Amino acid sequence: MIIEVMPDIYRIEVPLPRSPLKATNSYLVKGRERNLLIDTGWNREESKRALFAGLARLDVNLEKTDILLTHVHADHSGLTAAVATEKSTLYCGEIDAELVNATGTTNYWSDIGVMLGFYGFPLEDLPDAMRAHPGRRYNPGIQQVFAILKENDVIEVGDYHFTCVETPGHTPGHICLYEPENKILVSGDHVLDDITPNITFEKRIGDPLGHYLHSLDKIDQMDINLVLPGHRRFIDNIHKRIYELKHHHEHRLNEVLDILGTGLRDAYQIAGKMTWDITCKNWGHFPPAQKVFAVGEAVTHLEYFRHIGKVRKVENQGRAFYELV
Ligand SMILES: [Zn+2]
């Protein structure tokens, strides 16, 4: 489905089969000389068909279209290689540009496997979890050259002036785009409406949750009328949504402290005791890829406490355990 959100800004919904996210919002901004496509979808057939059908309906000349990624995740970056022509510029934040290319290598995924093992993920479940991981299955599949966007860089498309706002947290190189005249924020997965963006551990930035909360504060100070997020509905009251997201993480942090109150544990055990919004009998029945996200989320909350000195990490025989200080 295509919606014209503002004059010359269109949302194309790109389906993500069997994902709880349901679809990615891909935005096309039509310009006089060049168009800009913001985020794409998984590199799989159903998503590709929908994106290309949308672009054809909007009569888009891909030779005159540049592509911007708000962040590395395959539901945003997957189809860049399919859409890009030799004349397209691919924009991305610096660390995420490296990560998009890294996700196309086997080394990256074996490193993730080693890291998950370090945090207590059962080794016998790792092959299934890695096989099911959408980032491994649906990434662009080839190495690409990116133009790096930094804070305050401006991309002009038609009458719009999009300014890059660095918002590390959901991923280390996540960026949003702000259009000051119309007070629009293209938020990627930094702020979503009825979903809490997942904060997964990434060794390239320590304390991703701390960065994420800081990036929420940064956006909270901006004058924004309309948010165009990477998934689901548009948001008109971003300050209310930021308040809810911060409240969610506060609740989560307290939950982690309560679990740690019962003694030394690894992140996998802690994730198994946290509450998750997923239709599943229990932790044992979690789909393997969801378990990976849950462990990542547990680690980011534990690392947040470690950075403020409330929790310590103890390493024993190549495994990490956490305890209260
Ligand atoms: Zn994402």
* Interval between CA 320 and ligand 1 midpoint (Å): 26
Angle between helices 208-220 and 288-307 (to 10 degrees): 80
**Quick one: pLDDT at residue 282?**
86
Domains of the chain plus CATH, in order, are 2-251 (3.60.15.10)
Q: Which residues of 188-219 are buried (b: 16+ CB within 10 A; e: fewer)?
A: bbbbbbeeebbbbbbeebebbbbbbbebbebb
Element (H, E) at 229: strand 226-229
Find the 188 Cα to ligand 1 centroid distance in Å: 7
CA of 262 to the centre of ligand 1 (A): 33
Distance 325 CA to ligand 1 centre (A): 32
Task: Please list the residues that pair with 188 across neighbouring strands.
Answer: 229
Distance from the alpha carbon of residue 175 to the mean position of ligand 1, in angstroms:
11
The whole-number pLDDT of residue 200 equals 85
What are the tokens at 301? 């909350």
For residue 317, report the distance from its CA to the centre of ligand 1, in Å.
33
| pLDDT of the residue at 244 | 97
Q: What is the pTM of this model?
A: 0.95
Question: What is the 304 CA–ligand 1 centroid distance (Å)?
Answer: 20
Q: Are 296 and 212 in contact (CB under 8 A)?
A: no
**Gap between the Cα atoms of 211 and 297, Å rounded:** 14
Query: What is the reported pLDDT for 42?
Result: 98
Q: What is the predicted pLDDT for the residue at 71?
A: 98
| Residue whose C-alpha is closest to residue 139's, from 112, 116, 119 | 112
pLDDT at 29: 98
Ligand 1 centroid to residue 73 C-alpha, Å: 5
Q: What is the predicted pLDDT for the residue at 94? A: 97
Is 313:321 a contact under the CB 8 Å cutoff?
yes
Helix (H) or strand (E) holding 278: none
Of how many residues is the chain composed?
Answer: 325
- How high is the pLDDT of residue 323? 96
Bridge-based pairing of strands 311-316 and 226-229 is: unpaired
Of 92, 48, 84, residue with least CA distance to 68 = 92
- Ligand 1 centre from 192 Cα, in Å? 10
Ligand 1 centre to CA of 261 (Å) is 31
Structure confidence at residue 119 (pLDDT): 96
Whether the Cβ atoms of residue 72 and residue 103 lie closer than 8 Å to each other: yes
Gap from CA of 138 to ligand 1 centroid (Å)? 13
pLDDT averaged per 10 residues, the chain (length 325): 96 94 97 98 98 98 98 98 97 98 95 95 91 94 97 98 98 98 98 92 90 98 98 96 97 95 93 86 85 94 96 95 96
- 41 Cα to the center of ligand 1, angstroms: 11
Q: Please tell me the predicted confidence (pLDDT) of residue 281.
A: 80
Distance 76 CA to ligand 1 centre (A): 7
Ligand 1 center to 170 CA (angstroms): 7
Q: The dihedral of CA 154, 198, 126, 323: what is its sign?
A: positive
Whether the CB-CB separation of 50 and 13 falls below 8 Å is answered with yes
Q: Give 204 Cα–ligand 1 centroid separation in angstroms.
A: 16
Cα 124 to the chain's mean position, in Å? 27
